[in-house]
Amino acid sequence: MIVELALSVALALYRPTAFPVAAAWACLLLTVLVWLATFFVSVPIHDKLSSGYNAAHIARLARSNWPRTAAWSARLVILALGTLALLR
């Protein structure tokens, strides 16, 4: 995740001219959202699970992972479209 954040910052600040500006900043925003969700939602649930099995916490962790998965997937689509713009 650290590498993803560093690359997102680099893309936003030093993007190739053919790579859309909005796409570069959207990638950074999505990466930051994933980090926030990870550290403010997922990590606390993991901390609770470290004391033992709890089905409710596991279910909450699984549900909380969907927004992160959606953000990473959206970022992938944006990066793919931006890469296509570079190839044109």
CA distances from 57 to 3, 6, 33 (A): 29, 31, 22
Average pLDDT estimate for 60-86: 95
- Summarize pLDDT for 42-64 with one digit per residue, the tens: 999 999 999 999 999 999 999 99
The owner of tokens 């909380």 is: 64
Res 43: pLDDT: 96
> Do 46 and 61 meet the contact criterion of CB atoms below 8 Å apart?
yes
Residues 26-51: b if buried by 16+ CB within 10 A, e if exposed: bbbebbebbbebeeebbeebeeeeee
pLDDT-derived band of residue 33, with 50, 70 and 90 as boundaries? Answer: very high
Res 21: pLDDT: 94
For the chain, the domain total comes to 1
Q: Which residues span the domain enclosing 75?
A: 2-87
> Do 19 and 11 meet the contact criterion of CB atoms below 8 Å apart?
yes
